[in-house]
Amino acid sequence: MNIDAHQHFWEYHPAHQTWMTTEMHVLRRDHLPAELRPLLKAVGFDGTIAVQARQVLEETEWLLQLADDHDFIRGVVGWVDLRSPGLDGQLERYARHPKLAGVRHVLHDEQDDRFMLRPEFRRGIARLGEFGLTYDLLVFPKHLPIAVDLVAEFPGQRFVVDHIAKPAIREGQVSPWREDLTRLAEFPNVFCKLSGMVTEAKWKQWQPEDFHRYLDIVIEAFGTGRVMVGSDWPVCTLSGGYAATLRIVVDYAQQFSAEVRDDILGGNCARFYHLSPPNTHP
């Protein structure tokens, strides 16, 4: 089963998606499951992980409702306030839902680069394991050494790096991203999403081979058993179509055995997020 491990939905409102600049005008509209379903089918993918884009509890509730209504949404990475004294109540409420797979915070937008090491945030991370929830690390390369410190504190918590940590692909840079990502990959509880690359390249001017050395570095660091393909739809449409974006990793994976390809294109995602088969409850 092929699974897109990272995509978003939203009902556009200027006050909600303030991060969308004028050059991102193609994103400034609703992006909903009815639009994504045929795109998935056309590329032979069976399901997705819907990831939060707003840091409000209503976002988590909305995504879980979409997942109830659409079987192809296999899991949800929502948002809860990890710093809140009421965190346990939030987790007890939402973790009951069989499709809540994990949570995320938009760390790379925080002014404090060491935000993830604040005591109240770390206390929140410590609570996730009890509820069987993963944590998505949305960071820039500069945050990777800090993420190493966070992950080292929680060896039993499952983490996944979003968008290969957004290296400077358009500039062709690999260091110190390569070295810092390799350090993070030494922790066996950390996975990595092969996603978000096209928007770090020159928009609509890239070739698939532009990403190969970055993919080589990630595979060398994490192996083939801890990586998963993701589109970052609809954000990817700033730089490339849905099918072309996924084909970067799908075609790259052809060098591996059928078993390894299946892992990269869906199996690793299903294992990491503990996904249940369609139409069943854990």
Q: CATH number for the domain including 248? A: 3.20.20.140
Residue 278 belongs to some domain of the structure: no
pLDDT at 69 over 90: yes
Query: Could you list the residue range(s) of the whole structural domain that residue 70 is in?
Result: 3-272
Residue 280 belongs to some domain of the structure: no
Please state the rounded mean pLDDT for residues 205-212.
97
pLDDT at 6 over 90: yes
* Tens-digit pLDDT profile for residues 185-203: 999 999 999 999 999 999 9
* Tens-digit pLDDT profile for residues 109-139: 999 999 999 999 999 999 999 999 999 999 9
Q: What percent of the chain has pLDDT over 70?
A: 98
Residue 279: pLDDT band with limits 50, 70, 90: low
pLDDT at 277 over 80: no
pLDDT at 282: 43
pLDDT at 213: 98
Residue 281 belongs to some domain of the structure: no
Please state the rounded mean pLDDT for residues 60-84.
98
Residue 186 belongs to some domain of the structure: yes
Residue 26: pLDDT band with limits 50, 70, 90: very high
Residue 282 belongs to some domain of the structure: no
pLDDT at 278 over 80: no
Measured CA distances, 158 to 1, 192, 239 (Å): 22, 11, 30
pLDDT at 148 over 80: yes
pLDDT at 88: 96
Residue 276: pLDDT band with limits 50, 70, 90: confident
Number of domains in the chain: 1
Residue 123 belongs to some domain of the structure: yes
pLDDT at 281: 45
Residue 68: pLDDT band with limits 50, 70, 90: very high
pLDDT at 138: 98
pLDDT at 253 over 50: yes
Residue 45 belongs to some domain of the structure: yes
Listed as own residue / partner, the contacts of 36-45 with beta carbons closer than 8 Å and 24 or more positions apart are 36/7, 36/9, 36/233, 36/242, 37/70, 37/72, 39/233, 39/242, 39/243, 40/4, 40/72, 42/243, 43/242, 43/243, 43/246, 43/247, 43/250, 44/2, 45/2, 45/3, 45/4, 45/246
Residue 118 belongs to some domain of the structure: yes
Full-model pTM: 0.96
Per-chain mean pLDDT for the chain: 96
Higher pLDDT, residue 107 or 277:
107
